Amino acid sequence: MTSAHGVTVRVEACAKTFADGTRALEPVTLDIARGETVVLLGPSGCGKTTMLRIIAGLEQPDAGGRVLFGEADVTRVPIERRNVGMVFQSYALFPNMTVADNIGYGLKIRHVGAAERKARVAELVALTGIEGLEQRRVDQLSGGQRQRVALARAVAVRPSALLLDEPLTALDAALRERLRGELDRLLRTLGITTVYVTHDQAEAMALGDRIVVMRRGAIAQTGTPREIYFAPTSRFVAEFIGAANIVEAECVAGALALPGGRLPLANGAAAGPVVAMIRPESIAVAAPDGASLTGSVDAVSFIGDRQRLTVSGAAPKPILVDAPNSIEVKPGDRVGLAVDPAAVRLLPGGPT
């Protein structure tokens, strides 16, 4: 990994209300370190794209909001003078130019000489693996090739920050997965400050140094992929990232009192009603005799590397359990369930 490039980005109390009165973003503050990749993740309409466009300079925050690149306040600076690189969901490649001219356009604007421009374009063509396509027109490229050209064009100018708006969404699933890997390698190589918008949690986990989960125009949680996955601070984040069993129950003597038995909690759990989250893969299947928590298997779906069981009777609602693909289990079986107390995450209560 090379040293960090680009600038720190600070979004300070930025809110956005559109002309028709729609509130797209509540006042949010976010600091992004130099060279860091931050993923803005959330369902559609959560404000993630608006936040990216505010950072880019394509939208102005409401009064009181500020955007800082390093020490410089760029709130009033239009996008063309922010020195950002941007990849759009539709790529926005120029149909009137060849691949090479597209990649070199930002350099041409910056009055980089023809020879140097050519060298830089060749460098990026090699980096993104699109050799041989330089003289093609944009409409002669496949979706994956267009995506690479868009990325090469955005980083050609050595931007202060790289901004990507759902760059893989327009591609089919297999290609998306492959390009995700390539993109990750490229972002690590470049080491540039990156803001990446997506609604795909797998993409967010794979690419982000940090994930910012957004909901209804506000930040729900910020953290590393591990923190977001293992220690969600709200029911929304727990359910949005990965599969989660949400169990509402009474805590009695350090354990959850459930219809199917007891589920011990880590030390220090206070008595009273709690909301707990348990990931399916942290529940182990055991023999029913002697187990402190039992239930009956409702459904088994064989996934390949594992099988996912739906177990009822253990908790108020059926819970999902990921079992190894080697055990024999069928609907109707009684099973015991064992959970490491450390894997039970208590969430702030209240229905959401």
Partner 1 sequence: MSPMRDRLIFIAQLAFTLLVAAFLIVPAALSITAGVTVNYFRGVQSGLTLEWVVQVWELYADTILRSFAIALSTLGATLALGVPGAYSLYVRGGRLARTIEEIITLPLAIPGLAIALALLLAYGGFSDFRRSWLFILAGHVIFTLPFMVRSVIAVFAAIDVKTLDEGAASLGASPWRRFRDVIVPNARPGILAGSLMVVTLSLGEFNVTWMLSTPLTKTLPVGLADSYASMRLEVASAYTLVFFVMIIPLLVAMQVFAGWGATARPAR
Residues that bind partner 1 in the complex, under the rule CB under 8 A: 19, 56, 58, 78-81, 83-86, 88, 90-96, 105-106, 109-110, 139, 153-154, 157, 163
Minimum distance from CB of 137 to partner 1 (Å)? Answer: 8
Shorter beta-carbon distance to partner 1: residue 105 or 196 = 105
Q: Minimum CB separation from partner 1 for residue 59, in Å?
A: 11
Tokens of 41: 């993740």
Q: Which residue has the tokens 């809110």?
A: 15
Nearest partner of 67 among 134, 169, 161, judged by Cα: 161
Tell me, what DSSP letter sits at residue 253?
Answer: T
In the complex with partner 1, the residue whose CB is nearer, 19 or 63, is 19
Q: How far is the CB of 159 from partner 1 (least distance, A)?
A: 9
**Angle (CA) 261 316 255, round 5°:** 40
8 Å CB contact between 147 and 171: yes
In the complex, the smallest distance separating the C-beta of residue 58 from partner 1, rounded to whole angstroms, is 6
Exposure b/e, 200-221, CB count within 10 A at least 16 = b: bbebbbebbbbbbbbbebebbb
Choice between 120 and 279, CB closer to partner 1 = 120
Beta-carbon contacts of residue 268 (< 8 Å; ≥ 6 apart): none
H/E segment holding residue 186: helix 173-190
Q: State the minimum distance, in angstroms, from the CB of residue 222 to partner 1.
A: 26
Q: Which residue has the tokens 């090739």?
A: 145
For partner 1, give the closer residue by CB, 84 or 297. Answer: 84
Cβ proximity to partner 1, 58 vs 68, nearer residue:
58
Residue 76 contacts residue 66 (beta carbons within 8 Å)? no
* CB 141, min distance to partner 1, A: 13
Of residues 79 and 343, the one with the C-beta less far from partner 1: 79
Give dist(CA 4, CA 191) in Å, integer. Answer: 5
